[in-house]
Homo-oligomer: A and B are copies of this chain.
Amino acid sequence: MEFKVNSKVLEKLLSKIIPAVPTRTPMPILENFLFDIKDGAMYVSATDLEIALRSSINIASDENLKMVIPARLLYDIIRSLGETQITFNADGGSKLKITTDTGVYNIGYSSYEDFPEIPAVSKDKEIVINGLDLKKAIDQTSFAMSKEDMRPAMTGTLFEFTPDGLRFVATDGHRLVKYINKNIKSATEEQYIIPERAISVLSKLLDDADVKIYLSKSNVSFHLGDIEFVSRLIAEKYPAYSSVIPLENENKLFVNRDVLNSTIKRMMLFSSSSSKQVKFSISNNNLEVSAEDIDHGSDAVENIECKYDAEAMDIGFNTAYVNDILNHVDDESVVFKLHSPTKACIIEPETVKETEELMLLLMPVRLNN
């Protein structure tokens, strides 16, 4: 069979699917695209068994054919071509022949029978969310996912449907982020945990267009325009995170986010590699931030204006975690809600918004005095 396609159209299509191709895998078949030419359309898909991507374009072809083509080789050839007409020829044998005005390329292809089936997700339950809203939600929470496999649930991001809104939660035990999109209300309460790799690929695919989400017990499917993105879910129970969020943190510290983060970046140069500790000494509208590297005999202290009229307090944090958190609060001013040097601290943007809510929780570290 033979069909023709514009190089730039094909490049665009393949660029959407390539993120699902694993870079290292013990299953060589996964290093391929599945091409499924059927009734005038060409469906291209790829999977690493955890996530899968599929998209299609219309092509003029009388025959149907499935084939499995080395993904990176094909993608690299296509994108190295200028804009040109490409003819694919797969008549018999195990070679795909690609022809342009000036070149002929033969690529071995494999049988499609070994290519894993991409799970079909029932469309019974559909949620529609704007792509940028979803992107914001996962970008503001996903950094706090656990990198350790000890508790698999915490290696993903929780999507929690509630009557009040759609909650996104991530935690690694040291810090926790909860973001609520109040526009997406759900009659029932349901929890789904999306794995880290799906979150990171999804974030790059999202744009201003609406996204349709379909959920089953074991899989989630995102429809983004002409792209379908499927991921398995983490089949675990998410920790009962609400119970760790303190309610009685009455001591409020208001501080300019960029000023504090600039200070924190310098403190990261000083906080010793073993403790990674930064100390906040708060009193009377003044925040003294200090760090010490005992191994190298260096230390730093800076004073920042703030708003704070509660009791004076010294509290220690992991410097990198404070930096992470400040990078994810999208407000000029942040509030630290404190109770005591040993209790969890709540960090929030000062501005309260109508349609969304962001809360970050950070566990303090014991100060080494």
Q: Does A223 interact with chain B (Cβ within 8 Å)?
A: no
> Bound complex: CA of A91 vs CA of B297, how far in Å?
16
Q: Sort A-B residue pairs by CB-CB distance and give the 6 closest, nearest first.
A: A108-B297, A103-B302, A105-B300, A107-B298, A80-B266, A106-B299
Minimal beta-carbon separation of A193 from chain B (angstroms): 38
Give the total of A residues in contact with B, Cβ under 8 Å: 31
List, in ascending order, chain B residues with CB within 8 A of A263's CB: 102-103
Q: Are A262 and B95 in contact (CB under 8 A)?
A: no
Q: Are B269 and A103 in contact (CB under 8 A)?
A: no
Q: Which A residues, 103 to 121, have Cβ-Cβ distances below 8 Å to chain B?
A: 103-108
Residues of B within 8 A of A76 (CB): 269
Q: Does A12 interact with chain B (Cβ within 8 Å)?
A: no
Q: With A80-B262, A80-B266, A262-B80 in contact, is A108–B301 under 8 Å at CB? A: no
Partner of A266, one of B77, B107, B266, B300: B77
Contact B297 A77 (CB under 8 A): no
Tell me if A73 counts as interface (CB < 8 A to partner B). yes
A42 to B304 alpha-carbon distance, docked (Å) = 31
C-alpha spacing A303/B99, complex, angstroms? 12
A sample of 26 inter-chain contacts (CB < 8 A) reads A70-B296, A70-B298, A73-B269, A76-B269, A77-B266, A80-B262, A81-B266, A82-B262, A102-B263, A102-B302, A102-B304, A103-B301, A103-B302, A104-B300, A104-B301, A104-B302, A105-B266, A105-B270, A105-B298, A105-B300, A105-B301, A106-B297, A106-B299, A106-B300, A108-B296, A108-B297
For A77, what are the chain B residues with a Cβ–Cβ distance below 8 Å?
266, 269, 300
Determine if A298 and B73 form an interchain contact, defined as CB atoms under 8 angstroms apart.
yes
Q: Does A94 contact B (CB under 8 A)?
A: yes
In Å, the complex CA distance between A263 and B262 comes to 48
